[in-house]
Structure 1
């Protein structure tokens, strides 16, 4: 049995615990500062639950001692605290953050950690799986010219002018729309402005748009520096969304009042579990002396997991984190130091038992 602590009993943390518990191979401690969140969750006796204040560093380190790894399913702002505690407790660390600054802090903590400790941030969908897939496709080219990573979590049945519903963290969504976007242009790392770079495309008869957003590229822009002419990450939305978001964030300057923007989103945009995740990577370059383009396109829909109905972003995020954990515990990841997502072998990932959602072709049926 692999011994693991999961901090954060929200929707994603609970989903990760559910998948790992059902595998039968993990002994879990699920910790949260909210007793009601913990009490509402039911697991087998392989999962213990504990109230925990992250601000109590001594208690946090004590909780981690004796386990093999910790997963932060919390907001990005507390990840450095948990990573520091992991370093002190001598355990490995995993998270889901999309925040670039936080990831740099985790990297510095990993560099000062002890032997036998692995730190793997950004283990979700984007950043996460999209970087693993993008790097895998890049390796198929003798000379890589352009690599485009595109991801979107969209309501299956949009019915408002924004053509959008909340499907995940509101704070994460706002950061994505407001923070600088890393990319590579003409072979050099650059910062792009969020909400710019608008493009349109059609997939399976539906029209979409995509535009610059922050965080989804992860560390791939560092890894591929000098190996690709142009590398970009953009978020996929239904057409018309970017225009209205640009009006709110830039014209009305709500990007300078993020707490107010969060309140507006959560007041006006209903949460939905009926969503679809779109994943598309397009690579262009030279293969066997010919200028070629390869595109990998995937869709993941909401569906039933056991006796619960999960949203597509919930499924893909939890599945990605569980897959990375499984690869770590089965010695298919480095067992020391800081690990980037693109260091994870795509074939190992996609063949893992937890990655089934990424292998599904077609529309799974569900409520």
Structure 2
């Protein structure tokens, strides 16, 4: 991969509102305040969360206890970065569209993305959901790999996992992400392209074994990771799928919980069980594998990207790998819109971002890791 050239940081102190003072909202605020270039505020309805972010990240905060306060905070902003739970995405995007404010989020929820796409018709600002790791960066790199082959790839296989570095128990898993989002991914239908046609497959299907840099993993279908790629590549790719990477044995335990014990029908109980029994950790690793295969000059070839990303410390604070990669991706999307390198209105897909632009960005460079093959 050619060494990307860095782009200048935005100037002018445009006002940016981060919605949500949880783990990811805190990481976004920390990255943006450390890098500079924006007038930043963090909003939440939970006062103790706001106080924690203010103390640790040193940013201004605003309390939004109700819908009126939220709308007042959004109005007049340059951009909103939504780090709230996925079921609030469409409502916040509606406010941003009403006030002409650029909107970015991290949702993996397919229905929320469809609703936001519908809002974008005639919008005066950018509406850009799915700006995290998967969906998000994995769509950017997958689109780039597929485009390197003659006429596009024949098959594109995308694999991502946020895993504990020191797994324990039968699940061999620790909570590194939103539990609601995790359950959503494990239960909802998964988009794919099969034999050239856009379709859906059940979550947890397609179990496979992976060997990455000598470490054995398993992977299986989960919902939402492809973002808008199936629409972009329908009719041009024969095969496109996304699977979540886990340690061997995780799939069998999850299938027991969801199918045999029927907890997929009782999601709130499942959330309580998971959060009560599985410890959260900041000692995690993000594993990424993207592989495109197709023809170049009449020969079958393969293009790939592989990365193993750990957490980091910033201003003396530990950011987990999933915090850092997710926050960095949405911050890079903000930068690229603010600097004019992306459209300035309407629905923007992740694959509209050039991989070289993303890796050259001051936030996106976390994905330009040593040892990456492409």
TM-score (normalizing by structure 2): 0.93
Is the contact made by 1:62 and 1:89 (CA closer than 8 Å) also made in structure 2?
A: no
Residue number in structure 1 paired with 2:282: 273
Q: Residues of 2 paired with 1:204 and 1:190: CA distance?
A: 32
Of 227, 250, 255, the residue aligned with 2:259 is: 250
Residue number in structure 1 paired with 2:137: 129
Of 30, 37, 40, the residue aligned with 1:28 is: 40
Secondary structure of 1:353's match? coil
Residue number in structure 1 paired with 2:5: none
Deviations 1:291-318 (A, max 9, x none): 1112211110122222011110001000
Of 72, 96, 100, the residue aligned with 2:110 is: 100
Residue number in structure 1 paired with 2:356: 347
Secondary structure of 2:54's match? coil
Q: Which runs of 5+ in 1 are unaligned?
A: none
Matched, 1:356 2:356: no
Shift of 1:270: 0.2
Deviations 1:329-362 (A, max 9, x none): 1101110100010111110001101123212226
Q: Residues of 2 paired with 1:142 and 1:328: CA distance?
A: 30
Is the contact made by 1:26 and 1:46 (CA closer than 8 Å) also made in structure 2?
A: no
Q: Residues of 1 paired with 2:133 and 2:175: CA distance?
A: 16
Q: Residues of 1 paired with 2:141 and 2:80: CA distance?
A: 25
Residue number in structure 2 paired with 1:91: 101
Residue number in structure 2 paired with 1:141: 149
TM-score (normalizing by structure 1): 0.95
How many corresponding residue pairs? 359
Is the contact made by 1:21 and 1:43 (CA closer than 8 Å) also made in structure 2?
A: no
Q: Residues of 2 paired with 1:215 and 1:173: CA distance?
A: 11
Is the contact made by 2:33 and 2:57 (CA closer than 8 Å) also made in structure 1?
A: no
Shift of 1:166: 0.4
Q: Residues of 1 paired with 2:319 and 2:101: CA distance?
A: 30
Of 339, 342, 345, the residue aligned with 1:336 is: 345
Deviations 1:21-77 (A, max 9, x none): 111211012110000001112369983211003x42x33222222211111110011
Is the contact made by 1:27 and 1:47 (CA closer than 8 Å) also made in structure 2?
A: no
Secondary structure of 2:238's match? strand
